[in-house]
Structure 1
Amino acid sequence: MTFDITRIDDPTFIAENRMPAHSDHRWFAGPEEARSGVSSFEQSLSGVWKFHCARNRGQLIPGFEQPQTDVSGWDDIPVPSHLQLEGYDRPQYVNVGYAWDGREELEPGQAPALDNPIGSYVRTFALEHPLREGERLSVTFHGAESAIAVWLNGRYIGYSTDSFTPAEFDLTDALVEGENRIAVQVFTYSSGSWMEDQDFFRFSGIFRDVVLRRRAAVHAEDIRVTTVVSDDLASAEVVLRVALAGAGGEGVGGGGSVTARLEGAGDLSTRSDGALAVRMDAPRLWSPEDPHLHDLVIEVRDATGALCEVIPQRVGIRRFGIENGVLSLNGARVVFKGINRHEFGPDGRVASPQLAESDIRMLKAHGVNAVRTSHYPNDSAFYALADEYGLLVIDEANIETHGPWTRIRNFGEPLESAIPGDSEQWRPAALDRARSMLERDKNHPSVVIWSCGNESYGGTVLRDVADWFRSVDDRPVHYEGVHWDPRYPETTDITSRMYTPAAEVAEYLQENRDKPFLLCEYAHAMGNSFGGVGDYIELAYRDELFQGGFIWDFADQAVRMTDRYGREFFGYGGDSGEAPHDHDFSGNGIFFADHAPTPKAQEMKRLYQGFVVDVSASVFTITNRMLFTSSAAYETRVTIAREGRVVSTGVVPTDVAPGETGTFALPHPIPAAPGEYAVVVSLHLRAETAWAPAGHEVAWGEHVLQVGEPPARAAAPMPRLVEGTLSIGVHGPGFHALFSRIFNGLGSYQFGQTSTGGRELLSGVVTPNFWHAPTANERGWNGPFEEGQWLLASRYGRASRFHEPADVVVAVEERGVRIGYRYELPTSPATHCQLSYLIDGSGRVEVTQRMHVPEGMPQMPEFATMLAMPADYDRVRWYGRGPEECYIDRQEGARLGVHDRRVVDMLTPYIRPQEAGNRTGVRWAEVTDARGAGLRFEGDPTMEFSALSWTPDEIESARHPNELPPVHRTIVRPALMRRGVGGDDSWGARPLDRYLLPTGDLEFRFAFRGI
């Protein structure tokens, strides 16, 4: 048999000589070996391979697979890796549409002929443990994108598509004594690529481990473990089915035998149907709150009774399904506090168990209980970790055809163009991908839902995939595409939608009550986003049919790059010179590309917490949203702080059962001393867990109250007014302020005694500001196009000229001197803004900004005042919400306190710079140098506050953080309000109305003074 390369264009050519899919169990030679975790049946072929990259089929080296072909001069490449990240080809980020779109005109199924990099890999190996009689040897490629052909010692072995499930081949008949030479070709694009049009970087190569595995003479080819939990949860039956191969045996007996023992239950017995089973009373059930796994040990023996294999299998006993119309785990209704996770890190999609474990630990620590494997099966190690740490997983088949979906939805192409649609030529591939996923992952208790894929429209093929899932397994089936093609509603057991606003979900459920409802994607967290998400969470606890959703998505997809000046940055679409591409649309993460948390994680953790904590001046109430865990499992702490300083702490015993509410008295009264107090009640881990240390906070609530009247400000002396020709001076002991009649504003503020009269704390003229660097969401709804006049108003508003002195007001008032400016703004209709300063003799400057915004004007991004300080004033300390960035529609996760940062760190490093770094509820903020000198800003009574190292236009002009210019000033922007960041989606959804700046009369007051 030979390999026919032309068949990579055939959608029905999905595999040749590939072994049937089976469970991902491991086997060992004996009990001690099993306990060590190192199997003598396995031999890794990961490492360095010889490598040649051809641009297309015409540049392949004929006969490369033959043992006599000299490859010593070829390059070395690590396996696993991606060609594109090893210097061959280039990374390409595409969201909607195929990577070859607009370059080659292809019929569905055809692979590109001109630009289809093909990697030829060669390495040699000798078996660490020679085969014994009756044993066989296979090689497994756990991930090869998009198709792979394999030879051993010049003999063609087989071919496989489906990049994300194992391709396993029997090598036994081609083995030779001593050294063997394995050769592989991996095709970047094949017919299978038409079913892999996911929103991700397009990579290729062998990107997961390669493993040789010996099979004993009698071998457990497949195992299936199921658990049947009684209605009352009082008992469970664990059922084991084993498919034996070798020594003439198919199934238990016929040349081999199987025994098994379950920890805590004893030996399994053979049932009448041939399965092995054991009953367990009062079982400890698996859940995200208690992911307990029972150890099942399976032993395989040959006909003589000799031990052939020992298989350790961890078993989670749980019941999951649709019960009483809702998705339930162990009899309790589930709310999925989920997230979508691409298997993506600094090395692309190269699988790393260490990275996966780190990701899962962070997700658990942030309250996430569910993951959707968007949009393909992950490496097998992920599921074992999900079992261990406790995550509910929607396991998604590697089927996405977003390009044809878009042509149907957006360009009116006929339904017949859907892939797989109703086409018989795509049916085998779709069913094969479903089978490969289910058979590998079926024994993982974390997998609770099977998904038919993503964004592939609808049709009979996917309906049949769903039916096949149900024919072999009892887990519910999910598919969102039924929303777009409702001909076969039976394709999905769950109503699934994407990016539907919470209000629309509630409206839908008023009339449609036939299925549980999930948002398989929601809260599109692109750039500075994730606003208004609390509405979804509240709806999930208000309507039992809405059972939560999965945030898009876990981490930014971006590749580490170096610019021409040697500075590292994370690159997105277009940064590798590729086309087509989708720019920075890959930057949707709650976590950054390096998997550190963004400020959005602060909000997610608060919204996803398992307890609602309501606090008042004397009591607090805990509502338990956990499924099986009492609040008694956590330590409940109460902290009372006065204006950022802790004045008392205490611990209150609580025991609130799941679904219940309890009210408790505060352990200490609020002090009588006047001031603002924050009472925080928080729940903490009593002991270390696998995902967090003891003391880790899992939930909190806060109440802020004022005791007594705020202290009256001491009267200040009158300042000295000097009205010059071009400048107006206001002076007092230790300060000097100069207002310009030419540049129309406050241009100098000196404070403190120096040889030159005081430190200059301003670096430019103070101006009103209505604009910020557009966020990803604002760009998504064309905000800059609609609202650009506010940019002009911020840059080019004009006040007094020499022949218009009436536009500048100079007045002596009871508390000081008032200087006011009237700015005419280049808007349509024409508007104006007034900015006035009341300066007293202590150097305190009260700023009042007023404006009337007529109905019908474009939305204003912010209503703020902007001033610049010298760059040495590079530290900021504030009393307000924090510690992370927050906005009016994303501040639930921020709490009141005194926080501090370096100014250069206040701009959140989203992969594309944009408005960031704001803080809400700020009572005061200090921007100082290293000695503590600078300006103190005070709200009236609060304000929003931003202190950054760059102006909005400098931020907007940079495509990446490394392109921001050297720091020359500190830009301070106190604000009445900045518009909410929004977050329903990033291509048209605006912030909810209650988070928009109002029209009509606006007034903003704050003050500043030197310190």
Structure 2
Amino acid sequence: MDAYWESFTPGEGRRRPRADALSDARRITLNGRWRFRLSPTAAGTGPAFVRAGFDDSRWDEITVPAHWVLEPVTPLAGGPARSLRGTGEGPVYTNTALPVPLDPPLVPTENPTGDYRLVFRVPDDWGAAVLRFQGIDSCAKVWLNGEPLGFSTGSRLPVEFDAPVVPGENVLAVRVHRWSSGTYLEDQDMWWLPGIFRDVEVIERPDGAIDDHFVHADFDHETGLGTLRVEASEPAVVEIPELGVRMAAGQSATVPVEPWSAESPRLYDGTLTGAGETVELRIGFRTVAVVDGTLTVNGRRVLLRGVNRHEHDPDSGRALDHQTMVRDIVLMKQHNINAVRTSHYPPHPDFLRLCDDYGLWVVVECDLETHGFIYAGWEGNPPADTRWLPAMLDRTRRMVERDKNRPSVIIWSLANESWVGENFDALESWVRDRDPSRPIHYERDPSYRNSDFYSLMYPAQELLEQIGRREEPRPEGVSDEEDSRRRTLPFLLCEYAHAMGNGPGSLVDYQRILESSDRFCGAFVWEWIDHGFRHRAGDGEYFMHGGDVAYAPNGGRYCLDGLLFPDRTPSPGLHELKKAIEPVAIEIDTTVSIRNRHDVRGLDHLAFRWRLEVDGERREEGDLPVPPVPPGESAEVPLPARPGGEPGEWWLTVEARLVGDTPWAPAGHVVAWGQGLLADGAPRSRPPRATTPARQADDGLIALGDARFDPVSGGLVRLGSVKVDGPVLDLGRAPIENDRGQGGVNDLASVWRAVGLDRLRHRTDLVEPDGDVLRVAGRAAASAHPHALAYRFDWCHDDGGLRVDVSVDFTGPWADTPHRHLEIVPPRLGLRMSLPAAYARARWFGRGPGESYVDSCAAARVGRYDATVEELQVGYPVPQENGNRLDIRWLELSGPGVPLLRVDGSPTFGFAARRWTSEELGRARHRHELVDSGRLWLNVDHAQQGLGSAACGPALPERYRVPRTSTTWSVRLSLH
């Protein structure tokens, strides 16, 4: 048997790649139910299945497009559906490691192979036809009516075969191998999902059909003229009625036009008509150039505020339908995202059509990554081996030819994380010859000899600031000439802000740096969506990650790293990104400052509204007149209102809202907002009131007003009628993914466990009534370790409540541990107590409505908010610290049958309220494992460290850590 799937050859029998196009050519979709049989080796079911008379009546049935490891396989004999999900035969996730031994181009004999069969009908009047597959993972051989058409690798790229169809019934047979030589080129930090997962169709090719076309639509920003030339493979006529253009293909026309941009995606509809076919044209005029080290489009510097986007759906994997693609783009536009890097392969062509329509800058990346060769010290890496050049060039050609007419595509990316090699020279040369209108990106080669951009992943903020000043350190192993050229290049941050779990932090900090220098042309958050699969096992439904599959190597939870949860629910991180990159910056002080951060458009599409509140209660509101503000410019507008005479915090909020409906949001959608404190008339200290001395009560407890304390532990056990357990000092949190670092680097969670911050033991040294004060002092430390916290709680009662003044000192050798490379810094410093389960609702004045942390709080406005305890939680697929609210002035907890409990800060605190402890939260592997403990656990924090993005990125900046210094704070509890 010819082992074509293990060949360096990328394919045979295929037609030359061509532009993705919609036309009036007749076509037959072959999407639907196919016959299917899965076999354990590349031999499949043998040679007979390709024949027209083959009996497949006992075969299974499967949907196309789909992945067989996700799609339930339905036996036609009437047996139960089988699902491979959650088994080693099913979806497999790796990050950098290849799932096959490094022995290129060979793969194991154990190679699951799916044989597909479909009988379809063709009209009697059809002639020549083309069979098109938009995506098959990872290698497929195709037969039509028993005759071989050829084979192909390159999973996420289209492939076409000449299809000698016959009138009436035709039999299509496709053999798909899970592993192939192409596997070595597709190690792209994703689930390995085999099958025919994109559309399949047969397209008629009558005489005179237009096989290919190339639209050149440039824009001269100085004259406002667009120049159009359309190349065609056949004689044809170009018509653009709106522009009054009618000309032969190959000719040029220069006319006044409105340019295309992500902010104003102006398209002109037209046709390209040949003797046998009319092709639809959607033309956007724009010119992309790198000028003096700056990326420009239509003569203006642009700043890409982007995300990396894998194709993913929690049920169908990479087999996305049109509405899911629309949903992605609508969510991006609603959250101020203006650019997409198609990591790490070309997406379904419909997605790029939608980017043209809705307006997104796009970096299209080739279906090429060889990251797994890092485990061999890059020995045998395909870019450095000329035997792989045909396959690499084939993938590049198929990408460029398919997407060359998309105005949204402004940059070609040759590959991702494939190190270096001379094959990239050939790829670059071919792209520049075929399409000199777009710049080229490739990040991993430190010489950047094949790239028009200097580019990095996950730099620290300090390094990014150096890059903006062109003062960055020189990469190792590059020549003087290479380094000199690199310093002239614009900088593209192709991955940053790893959005794994609760995070990322510092989005506002990064954006500030990215806007500080024209050298920066943009950045792409990693990444758009969590790659989790909806799964039911045992007692619950949850989102399955790589670690839930019994297969090695395994990338574990690393696939859950998106701004959307797997079901496309926006995460708090996406809300924070929307605020960080909003296209209008609104700052409020003695005036309202409006800065237009758009690349090309003014603010006439926005209306500005203001609202004045005191302590979160609305007092006035109205429209804010804003003069015209060109892109990149600012305007100062007088304050529309002044504080009144009431005591309290007077906050002015200004919002920029859409004036009219758009394809991605209705009129009134909030694009940007700003908030400023105009006056703070809140009392800084409570007036003196009558106090009550601490005394021994008849029940053996210590009484302080209506509060009762344990005389041994000093703990508060009752406040009025409310049973309380605590408060105690709390230093730990359920680790977020960024607390775990990557590969042992920045693994704060391991240090916390090693030194016992999650198992503090509390010792009470003093419980002493002293007049109006009950003084409780003690020590909190972990077993086997000398470092500790010495604390003192001074409780006092007045007519309105119970106040505690907390003093904490860090004692012992906190830095002298086996983990000297990581200083022991607690993630939290605060109080924790438990309350009756009847407390079910929270109302507060502070930041909200969503969660906030010290390095991720820009999206949280100061105001009054109300939520149930359940609504306070954020359902990260892997349970971890969540639901914190910052800058809380007061908090009220209520519920049936219990008095309202109020907590007042002096001046503020952070809080979280849960039905389970932090320890229980940290032990759970999936959300459904969290069980109501029968109590409400309340954290009232003085400080909690930030989020960062150290799961794949730099360490958490020092300014966002909890300082290990002597600290005092106060809170007040009262019942109402």
SS of the residue aligned with 2:640?
coil
Report deviation, 1:277: 2.5
Q: 1:417 aligns with which of 380, 397, 420?
A: 380
CA–CA separation in structure 2 for the residues paired with 1:698 and 1:871: 39
Among 151, 167, 172, the alignment partner of 2:159 is 167
Name the structure 2 match of 1:16: 12
Match of 2:602 among 610, 623, 630: 630
**Contact 2:33–2:61 under 8 Å retained in 1:** yes
Determine which of 943, 952, 962 is the counterpart of 2:909: 943
Match of 1:289 among 263, 270, 295: 263
Q: Distance in 1 between matches of 2:868 and 2:680?
A: 32
For 1:544 and 1:233, how far apart are their aligned partners in 2?
Answer: 24
| Structure 1 segment 356-435 matched on structure 2, within 5 A | 356-404=325-373, 406-407=374-375, 413=377, 415-418=378-381, 420-435=382-397
Query: What TM-score results when the alignment is normalised by the length of structure 2?
Result: 0.92
Residue 708 of structure 2 aligns to a residue whose secondary structure is strand
- Preserved contact between residue 879 and residue 925 of structure 1 (Cα < 8 Å): yes
- Cα separation, 2, equivalents of 1:994 and 1:729: 41
Instruction: Give CA deviations for 1:296-324 in whole Å, capped at 9, x if unaligned.
Output: 212112xxxxxx32221101111112123
- The one-character-per-residue Cα deviations of 1:454-493 (angstroms, maximum 9, x if unpaired) are 000011112221221111112000001113xx3xx32111
Q: Cα deviation per residue 1:106-153 (whole Å; 9 max; x = unaligned)?
A: 511112212x210101110111x3344xx3112111111001111112
Query: Structure 1 residues 316-325 or 333-342, which shifts more?
Result: 316-325
Report how far residue 765 of structure 1 moved: 2.9
1:206 is aligned to 2:196: yes
- The residue type equivalent to 2:254 in the other structure is R
Whichever residue aligns with residue 642 of structure 2, its letter is P
Q: CA deviation at 1:724?
A: 5.5
Equivalences for residues 383-532 of structure 1 within 5 A: 383-404=352-373, 406-407=374-375, 413=377, 415-418=378-381, 420-473=382-435, 474-483=437-446, 486=447, 489-508=448-467, 509-510=470-471, 513-532=487-506
Give the 3-state SS of the residue equivalent to 2:427 in structure 1: helix
Q: 1:725 to 1:479 in 2, by over 3 A?
A: farther
Helix, strand or coil: the match of 2:406?
coil
Contact 2:503–2:947 (CA<8 Å) still a contact in 1? yes
The whole-number CA distance in structure 1 between the counterparts of 2:934 and 2:788 is 32
> Partner amino acid for 1:295?
D
Match of 1:305 in 2: none
| Unaligned residue ranges in structure 2 (runs of 5+) | 72-82, 473-485, 816-822
Query: Aligned AA for 2:803?
Result: E
Mapped contact 1:91–1:578 kept (Cα < 8 A): no
Q: 1:206 to 1:709 in 2, by over 3 A?
A: closer
Correspondent of 2:726 among 760, 765, 779: 765
Q: 1:60 and 2:65 equivalent?
A: no
The reply to whether residue 220 of structure 1 matches residue 190 of structure 2 is: no
2:787 counterpart of 1:830? yes
Task: Give the corresponding residue for 2:801.
Answer: 844
Percent identity over the alignment?
Answer: 32
> 1:233-252 maps to which residues of 2 (within 5 A)?
233-244=223-234, 252=235
TM-score (norm 1): 0.89
Which residue identity is paired with 1:737?
Answer: A
Equivalent residue, structure 1, for 2:4:
7
Q: By how many angstroms is 1:784 displaced?
A: 2.3
Matches of residues 75-154 of structure 1 in structure 2 within 5 Å?
75-86=60-71, 87-88=83-84, 89-100=89-100, 105-114=101-110, 116-127=111-122, 129-132=123-126, 135-154=127-146
Secondary structure of 2:449 counterpart: helix
Give the letter for the 2:301 counterpart: R
C-alpha displacement at 1:23, in angstroms?
A: 0.6
What's the secondary structure of 2:201's corresponding residue?
Answer: strand
Aligned position for 1:248: none
- Alpha-carbon contact 2:657-2:669 (below 8 Å) kept: yes
Partners of 2:17 and 2:402 within 8 A in 1: yes
* SS in structure 1 at match of 2:771: strand
Shift in Å at residue 927 of structure 1?
Answer: 1.8
Match of 1:277 among 221, 241, 252: 252
Query: SS of 1:869's equivalent?
Result: strand
> The residue matched to 1:549 in structure 2 has which SS?
strand
Contact 1:880 1:923 survives alignment (8 Å): yes
The partner residue of 1:188 within 158, 175, 178 is: 178
Q: How big is the shift at 1:502?
A: 2.3
Partner residue in 1 for 2:850 = 884
Aligned length: 929
Residue 96 of structure 1: CA displacement?
A: 1.1
Counterpart of 1:312 (choices 247, 271, 280) is 280
SS in 1 for 2:386: coil
Query: Offset at 1:57?
Result: 2.6
Aligned residue number for residue 255 of structure 1: none
Contact 2:714 2:776 in 1 (8 A): no
Deviates more, 1:592-601 or 1:230-239: 230-239
- 1:761-787 CA-partner distances (Å, limit 9, x unpaired): 42x332110000111011112212222
CA distance in 1, matches of 2:360, 2:426: 28
CA RMSD of aligned residues (A): 1.9
For 2:147 and 2:199, how far apart are their aligned partners in 1? 22
Between the aligned partners of 2:466 and 2:647, the Cα distance in structure 1 is: 47
Query: Shift in Å at residue 932 of structure 1?
Result: 7.5
Alpha-carbon distance in structure 2 between the residues aligned to 1:265 and 1:59: 55
Secondary structure, in 3 states, of the residue corresponding to 1:357?
helix
State whether residues 694 and 770 of structure 2, in contact with CA within 8 Å, keep that contact through their aligned partners in structure 1: no
Residues 971-999 of structure 1: per-residue CA shift (max 9 Å, x gap): 1111111001112x414632111111112
What is the one-letter code of the residue matched to 2:259?
L
Change (3 A) 1:705 1:867: farther
What is the alpha-carbon distance in structure 2 between the residues aligned to residue 518 and residue 122 of structure 1?
Answer: 46
- 2:310 counterpart residue number: 342
Q: CA deviation at 1:160?
A: 0.7
Query: CA distance change for structure 1 residues 782 and 614 in 2, over 3 Å: closer, same or farther?
Result: same
Partner of 2:975: 1010
2:891 alignment partner in structure 1: 925
Note the C-alpha offset of 1:47: 0.4
Measure, in 1, the Cα distance between the counterparts of 2:700 and 2:38.
71
Given residue 295 of structure 2, which amino acid in structure 1 is its aligned partner? L
Structure 1 residues without counterparts, runs of 5 or longer: 30-40, 245-251, 253-257, 302-307, 752-757, 801-806
1:670 matches 2:626: no
Match for residue 509 of structure 2 among 526, 529, 535 = 535
Q: Indicate how the Cα distance of structure 1 residues 372 and 932 shifts in structure 2: closer, same or farther if over 3 A, else same.
A: farther
Q: Displacement, 1:819?
A: 3.7
* Deviation (angstroms), 1:743: 4.2
Q: Does the aligned pair in 2 maintain the 1:837–1:845 contact within 8 Å?
A: no
- With over 3 angstroms needed to count, the CA separation of the structure-2 counterparts of 1:162 and 1:581, relative to structure 1, is same
Residues 407-806 of structure 1 mapped to structure 2, 5 A cutoff: 407=375, 413=377, 415-418=378-381, 420-473=382-435, 474-483=437-446, 486=447, 489-508=448-467, 509-510=470-471, 513-565=487-539, 567-616=540-589, 618-654=590-626, 655-710=628-683, 713=686, 715-719=688-692, 721-723=694-696, 727-730=700-703, 732=705, 736-749=706-719, 751=720, 758=721, 760-762=722-724, 764-780=725-741, 781-788=746-753, 791-792=756-757, 795-800=760-765
State whether residues 460 and 953 of structure 2, in contact with CA within 8 Å, keep that contact through their aligned partners in structure 1.
no
CA distance in 1, matches of 2:44, 2:380: 33
Q: Which amino acid in 1 is paired with 2:735?
A: P
Aligned-partner Cα distance in 2 for 1:8–1:515: 40
